[in-house]
Chains A and B, each alone.
Chain A
Amino acid sequence: MYVFVHGYNNTFDEAARRAALIAYAARLPGPTILYSWPSQASALKYTADETNATWTQLHFNAFLEELACQTHAHSINLIAHSMGNRIVLEALEYFAHRGGQPRFGQVILAAPDVDHDTYRESFGEIADTVEHVTLYGSANDQAIRLSKGFHSYPRAGDGGQGIPVVPLPDKRVDAIDASAVPADLMGHGYLETKDILIDVQEVTQHKYPQLDHLTPAQNREGTYWIFEP
């Protein structure tokens, strides 16, 4: 079972189509559930979307709680894109504080529009709640660049040497640099490309990492993987 949380500037319709595409092309096992929050679906309403991403948090937490309760799932898998990563990471922290229930299996964070340091430091709280985290970042993501300029600090969705690495001895936290993946004009939609969806499929089937398309690299925080399409 996978829960997908969309990002900024999405209508319900767009978010549903993205969720379906990911479910279909990555062949996600089990049902896929879209969690759609009231993004204003306008490129000019970034701060309104930030406000609503915070506003929806209680609802998202309640939804996950209900999901775990109703389905008795051993663990819940999460996929987030862009600003949706804030909602997912906040929820993971919330449940970590609550005593670690429900558990989370695969957590896939694509193009996270999240503060770089906040992301890394969140693992102090959430490490025991999640099984495997896969982060995709890109140096060619113009939306992340804009966000970085807007917030004055690096973002977790950066790629190249700027990708956030969280070395944990007993936990899988993979950082994948997707800068080389051909994507849309903004370079922000690489989650929906063939290369990344096949990679996501491998993550969900626990085949990860497929070393033939990943090359290890080092930055000052640790080892990350360069995706070579």
Chain B
Amino acid sequence: MPSVLRQCLLLLIVFGLFWDRPLDGQQPSEICLQPIRLDEGSSAILGTVFDDDKQPVAGAEIYGIAQSGPESKGGGAALTPSTLGTTETGDSGDFLIIVPFTGTQIRLRATHWGFDAVEQSITVGNRQIVRVQIVLHRRRSVTTQGEPNTALQTIYFATDRMPRSSAGPEKQFGTERSSQIRYGMATIALPAPTPPKAARFGVMVAFMDNPNLDTRLEKLRESPNFWNDVRAAMDGLKIR
């Protein structure tokens, strides 16, 4: 074979090894060559976060949650479901999580200001780098009082205020004492979501004097499953 042809063939092979094929949004796949040196018994997840317009999302938070099963490098006890770690995507929407064990399922949870959280499960093998793409969908806007772009935030509550019967959620708990603590969840509409670094917080100064102008208690309900709800939220298993 002529040497030029041989070189071309070699280039093609090398190119093929490094070729970062477009991936299905939900299906992780391997990179053949590993640009990162991994120790025996460890693995890595290399990912990119995009928005609905296929633009990279910088500053998204990625939580890695290990499910039960694997043994650590040192042959230690099996892990219980726990947070592996958190990281933030860079300007190009990329993130990297080094996993100090293999053979277990990792649940990735991506969140970002103004987007709905998404989750994706991945299994990683020994010294393997798994590449993933995550698509974050912009939070559905709600229209309240003529405000076209509002984010919804869920909080949990515990209160020893006496409940009272009234029409709106904002009047559900008054100023009287109750000997019983009541638990539940509330959904609050907040001003338009913008990335924190570019947030128009000048508005916030205004609504501190009169929060009614900018935020609104949309929903309120007591919850008999309060502790289960809180536990689920702590595990990052519930999308809020």
Residues in A lying within 8 Å of B, measured CB to CB: 1, 11-14, 16-21, 23-25, 27, 29-41, 52, 55-56, 59, 62-63, 66-67, 70-71, 73, 182-185, 189, 192-194, 198, 201
Contact = CB atoms under 8 A, between A and B. Distances in A.
Interface of B: 61, 86, 113, 151, 153-162, 169-178, 181, 186, 188, 190, 196, 199, 201, 204-205, 208-209, 211, 215-217, 220, 227, 230-231, 233-234, 236, 240
A77 to B, nearest CB: 12
Given A1-B234, A34-B186, A37-B161, A21 B175 contact: no
Interface class of chain B by DSSP: strand
Nearest to B182: A36
A20 B234 contact: no
Contacts of B173: 12, 36
Contact of B190 (A24, A38, A52, A198): A24
Nearest to A16: B186
Contact of B230 (A27, A62, A71): A71
B208 A193 contact: yes
A152 B233 CA distance: 44
A27 B196 contact: yes
Contacts, number: 140
Contacts of A66: 227
B190 A33 contact: no
Contacts of B220: 16
A198 to B, nearest CB: 7
Given A24-B153, A38-B160, A70 B204 contact: no
Contacts of A21: 153, 188, 190, 204, 211, 215
A33 B196 CA distance: 22
Given A38-B177, A41-B175, A193-B201, A27 B61 contact: yes
Contacts of A56: 160
A221 B193 CA distance: 41
A197 to B, nearest CB: 8
A62 B160 CA distance: 11
28 contacts: A12-B159, A12-B170, A13-B217, A16-B157, A16-B186, A19-B157, A20-B186, A20-B215, A21-B153, A23-B153, A25-B199, A30-B234, A31-B234, A31-B240, A33-B158, A33-B230, A40-B175, A56-B160, A70-B227, A70-B231, A71-B231, A71-B234, A184-B208, A185-B209, A189-B208, A192-B208, A193-B204, A201-B196
B171 to A, nearest CB: 8
A63 B181 contact: yes
Given A1-B230, A59-B160, 5 more contacts: A14-B211, A21-B211, A33-B230, A36-B173, A193-B205
